[in-house]
Amino acid sequence: MAKITASVYTSHVPAIGAALDLGKSSDPYWQPLFKGYEPSKQWMKDNRPDVVFLVYNDHATAFSLELIPTFAIGCAAEFKPADEGWGPRPVPVVQGHPELASHIAHSVIQDEFDLTIVNKMDVDHGLTVPMSLMFGQPEAWPVKVIPFAVNVVQYPVPSGKRCFALGQAIRRAVESFDEDLNVQIWGTGGMSHQLQGARAGLINREWDNAWLDQMIADPQACSQVPHIDYVREAGSEGIELVMWLIARGAMADVAGGPKPTVKHRFYHVPASNTAVGHLILENN
């Protein structure tokens, strides 16, 4: 049986990828940020999964206003790093897991979540920056990845409640896959940031940390937070945080199991004009 062993949460700021790719990670501006991920890289070496189910959002790269899937699962054998305007990032091609992805699609759709199936897609910073933060700069990524894209760019976007319930369905799907696989689920994006308009640059350290406290301790209550709270308190792009609730919903305690252990928690401002949050929860 496949099993979800842990969940990882992290912001996916594109400038972090650029800093790594351009050899700037020890610059005074970036050093404190990358230092916060050192324990995570070690933890990842000690707890390497077979597959990462990676929840992220596409930033009008693979999709556009012409096509807006709310939830899209990547079932392909591989996914190339996207060209977001400066050429593709110099990172490895992502290897998928078509068998597990197809199984999850089948199970989750029968469980009443109508996913879009994607058999060809390039992946942008939403996916590749978390990979770089957790694995550094290897020749090849050491795990297989199932990309799971959520629309948090163009309204209407899914609610935290819907995302949390979807995470529970994903857990049931993974656990009904008939092969011993160690699976992690990652939620990416956030924390507070607004990239445009009169409130560009908004950072809300207090709200971010209170939200994180609740997301860890009482995810059910956290899933009830309405959209308007994210936008008002965490900025227009703070809404990316609903994706963390998909990963949280897939943890064992939500289905009546034991509480997870917090293995690492990190918060840092600024990276570009974003508050960076990071968390690792391990199932017991």
Q: Which residues contribute to the site for Fe ion (CB under 5 A)?
A: 189
Question: Among Fe ion, ligand DHB, none, what does residue 195 contact (CB within 5–8 Å per kind)?
Answer: ligand DHB
Pick the closer one to ligand DHB by CB: 15 or 173.
Answer: 15
Task: Find the shortest distance in angstroms from Cβ 61 to ligand DHB.
Answer: 10
Residue 194's alpha-carbon distances to 16, 134, 191, 200, 231, in angstroms, are 17, 25, 10, 5, 9
φ, ψ at 153 (rounded to 5°)? -105, -45
When CB distances are held under 5 to 8 angstroms depending on the partner's kind, the choice from ligand DHB, Fe ion, none that residue 193 binds is ligand DHB
Which residue has the closest beta carbon to ligand DHB?
272
Of Fe ion, ligand DHB, none, which one sits near residue 14, judging by CB under 5 to 8 A according to partner kind?
ligand DHB
Any residues with CB less than 8 A from the CB of 115 and at least 6 apart, and which?
Answer: 71, 72, 73, 105, 108, 109
Which residue's CB is nearer to ligand DHB, number 195 or number 262? 195
Q: How far apart are CA 86 and CA 84, in angstroms?
A: 6
193 is catalytic: yes
Strand order in the sheet with 182-188: 116-118, 71-74, 144-150, 51-56, 182-188, 3-10, 274-282, 261-271
Q: Specify whether the CB–CB gap between 78 and 96 falls below 8 A.
A: yes
Pick what 97 binds: ligand DHB, Fe ion, none; C-beta below 5 to 8 Å, kind-dependent: none
Residues whose CB falls within 8 Å of the CB of residue 105, separated by 6 or more in sequence, listed in order: 73, 75, 115, 117
Which three-class secondary structure state does DSSP give residue 140?
coil
Length of the chain: 284
Nearer to ligand DHB, 15 or 150 (CB): 15
Angle subtended by helix axes 14-21 and 125-135, to nearest 10: 50
Using Cβ positions, the residue closest to Fe ion within the complex turns out to be: 189
Interacting residues toward ligand DHB by CB under 6 A: 12-15, 59, 189, 193, 195, 237, 240, 272-274
Least distance to ligand DHB, CB of residue 38, Å: 21
Nearer to ligand DHB, 63 or 113 (CB): 63
Other CB atoms within 10 Å distance of the CB of residue 36: 19
Could you say which of ligand DHB, Fe ion, none residue 74 binds, taking C-beta under 5 to 8 angstroms by partner kind?
Answer: none
* Cα 273 off chain centre by: 19
Of the residues 12, 193, 268, 278, only one is catalytic, namely 193
To ligand DHB, the closest distance from the beta carbon of 14 in angstroms equals 5
Q: What are phi and psi of 164, to 5 degrees?
A: -65, -45
- Please, what is the minimum distance in Å from the beta carbon of residue 188 to ligand DHB? 8
Options 59, 97, 125, 268, the catalytic residue: 125
- Judged by beta carbon, residue 183 or residue 202, the one nearer Fe ion is 202
Least distance (Å) from Fe ion to the CB of residue 126?
5
Give the active site residues.
Answer: 125, 193
